[in-house]
Amino acid sequence: MLEYIKRRQKQWEKKWNHEADLEAEREAERQLEAELEAEREAEREALRAAEARKREDIVERKKLLQEQQEAERLRQKRTQEKQKLEEGRWGKQIDTLLAQLEEGRRQQDKLEEVRIIIQNREPYLGVLDWRRWLSDPLNQRLADLDFEYAVQMFKRDNRMARLRPHGTRGKKVAYNYFLSYTGDTDASAAEEYVTTNFNPDDYDLNLGFTVSYWVRPDEVGNHMFAFGRKYSNNERFTFGINTTSQIYIGTGGNKLTGRWDSGLDDNPSGLTAAELFPSLFDGGALKTGNWLHFAVTYADRESTSEGNVARKVYLNGELIRSQDLNWSSTGGVMDGGLYFGGRALRGSGTSTSYNNGWACGLDEVAIYSEEKDSDFIESVYNGGTKYNHRKSGGSGLVGYWRFNEGSGDMAKDLSGNGNHGTLTNEPAWKPRGQLGSLENVEINN
């Protein structure tokens, strides 16, 4: 029994020792695991610290980048503001320079217009007060452009008028007059015109003609005629403007209403009327206050059966239109003939009325029953109002009104055909300048 107890005790001791060893091994394993866990935690902490430093670096770099971007933005803003300031200074300088150039151009245009007015205006024969002196559109425009200069011209005109009766070296001076009309656009204005018995059909003008005249537009607008006659739409003989930018020449059934600034037919220069004479036009619109010379020719032929022939229109000696047409209809009967200052228009039956007047000056109207060439037209233009159609025009003169009477109610036809004009509602006689001494010039020759 004792042996058994000893044996069992040894077995228990052995078991206890084994368990102790196992516990010691487990404790060693736990310590090792704890050490490994501590190492892993240290590694994790190191990683967390590295991540934290990385994030801090990223934040710091972002902050630095933002600061750099903000600095660059501020630099660009300052640069832009500086550029704007510079551009503003340059812009102001450029604006000032452009304004100076524009003012210089306006002054140049003003001086050119004043020069043209001085060239075209005519002094009155008598002493006038300021209001009557300004009634001339050219004088009024001169006052609008340069008041002080206009006052000087007003005083000069009156001074010359006071001296004029004494003459020069004892010689009397002949004056070249024209007739001035107020037109009919102003409802309060009287219809001023001149009636004649001149009938184009009496002289077969549809078989060839030449018309030459000087006109000074004092107003421009729609359907304004310097002179003319119309029996029907197929029997026109009318000269004027259709609009501010269009001519009007009516011949038989044809009505020319082309723009001044459109291409010219058969013109060697290829220029428009506005390009040929820029001082006479504002863009394509006709200016007022300038004396213009027009000539219209229609080619000679034996009969209307020959068909179309050339009609040409000249402005200041230059060809501005050429067109083939056939003026065939004639023979319409109406009371009276050609009107000046407007157009004679057939009414009911054979009655005649004043139509579409033009506020203008009109001078030196000559009508021939044959076509004249371009050399003739140029010589008439270059001769100005001193050109005498009765003495220098050659054959074919069938109507000639110089308007040099200067007073009275008659405008004589100097062609010898007796189609004298009768003034209605007193269009004004005005002088254009001196022709010469009475020793060499007859006023109505």
Q: What is the overall mean pLDDT for the chain? A: 85
Q: Is the pLDDT of residue 309 over 90?
A: yes
Burial group, residue 19, by CB count within 10 angstroms (0-12, 13-18, 19+): exposed
H helices within 121-191, ranges in order? 130-134, 137-145, 147-163
pLDDT tens digits, one per residue of 40-93? 888 888 888 888 888 888 888 888 888 888 888 888 888 888 888 777 777 677
81 CB-near residues (< 8 Å, 6+ apart)? none
- Phi, psi (degrees; rounded to nearest 5) at 315: -125, 120
Least confident of 4-8, 22-26, 369-373: 4-8
Q: What is the pLDDT of residue 202?
A: 95
Least confident of 89-93, 198-202, 239-243, 314-318: 89-93
- Averaged pLDDT, 143-172: 70
Instruction: Give the number of domains in the chain.
Output: 3
Task: Give residue 29's Cα distance to chain centre.
Answer: 110
Residue 98 three-state SS:
helix
Q: What is the pLDDT of residue 166?
A: 46
Least confident of 35-49, 85-99, 230-244, 282-296: 85-99
Q: How far apart are CA 294 and CA 318, in angstroms?
A: 9
Q: What confidence category does residue 106 fall into, taking pLDDT thresholds of 50, 70 and 90?
A: confident
Q: What is the pLDDT of residue 148?
A: 84
- 376, HSE (Cβ side, Cα atoms, 13 Å): 18
- Within-domain flag for 117: no
- Same domain? For 152 and 210 the reply is no
Q: What is the pLDDT of residue 168?
A: 41
Q: What is the pLDDT of residue 104?
A: 73
Classify residue 189 as left (phi > 0), alpha (psi -120 to 50) or beta.
beta
- Within-domain flag for 249: yes
More confident residue, 131 or 197: 197
Place of tokens 């058969």: 266
- Same domain? For 107 and 152 the reply is no
- Within-domain flag for 386: yes
Q: How far is CA 234 from CA 8, 228, 253, 326, in A?
A: 161, 14, 4, 10
- Same domain? For 45 and 154 the reply is no
- Same domain? For 330 and 364 the reply is yes
Can you list the positions of beta strands (E) in 40-149?
none
Q: What is the pLDDT of residue 121?
A: 66
Q: Closest Cα to residue 287, out of 318, 314, 261, 317?
A: 261
- Within-domain flag for 119: no
Burial 171-189 (b: 16+ CB within 10 A, else e): eeebbbbbbbbbbbeeeee
- Same domain? For 157 and 271 the reply is no
More confident residue, 319 or 263: 319
- Within-domain flag for 121: no
- Same domain? For 151 and 194 the reply is no
- Within-domain flag for 122: no
Q: What is the pLDDT of residue 418?
A: 93
Q: What is the pLDDT of residue 119?
A: 66
Q: Is the pLDDT of residue 443 over 70?
A: no
- Same domain? For 297 and 340 the reply is yes
- Averaged pLDDT, 300-323: 94
Q: Is the pLDDT of residue 349 over 60?
A: yes
- Within-domain flag for 344: yes
Q: Closest Cα to residue 251, out of 192, 185, 197, 304?
A: 304
* Residue 443 neighbours by CB distance under 10 Å: 14
Q: What is the pLDDT of residue 36?
A: 86
- Same domain? For 145 and 216 the reply is no
- Same domain? For 220 and 271 the reply is yes
Q: What is the pLDDT of residue 94?
A: 75
pLDDT tens digits, one per residue of 166-211? 444 444 445 689 999 999 876 666 789 999 999 999 999 999 999 9
Q: What is the pLDDT of residue 269?
A: 66
Residue 206 belongs to a domain with what CATH number? 2.60.120.200
Q: What is the pLDDT of residue 324?
A: 94
Of the ranges 60-74, 128-142, 153-167, 300-314, which is most confident? 300-314
Q: Is the pLDDT of residue 444 over 50?
A: no
- Same domain? For 223 and 310 the reply is yes
Q: Which domain holds residue 27?
A: 1-111
Least confident of 1-10, 26-35, 405-414: 1-10
Q: What is the pLDDT of residue 188?
A: 64
- Same domain? For 341 and 385 the reply is yes
Q: Is the pLDDT of residue 441 over 50?
A: no
- Within-domain flag for 445: no
% of the chain surpassing 70 pLDDT: 90
Q: What is the pLDDT of residue 239?
A: 98
- Same domain? For 278 and 406 the reply is yes
Q: What is the pLDDT of residue 275?
A: 87
Q: Is the pLDDT of residue 133 over 60?
A: yes
- Averaged pLDDT, 407-413: 93
Q: Is the pLDDT of residue 344 over 80?
A: yes
What is the pTM for the complete model shown? 0.64
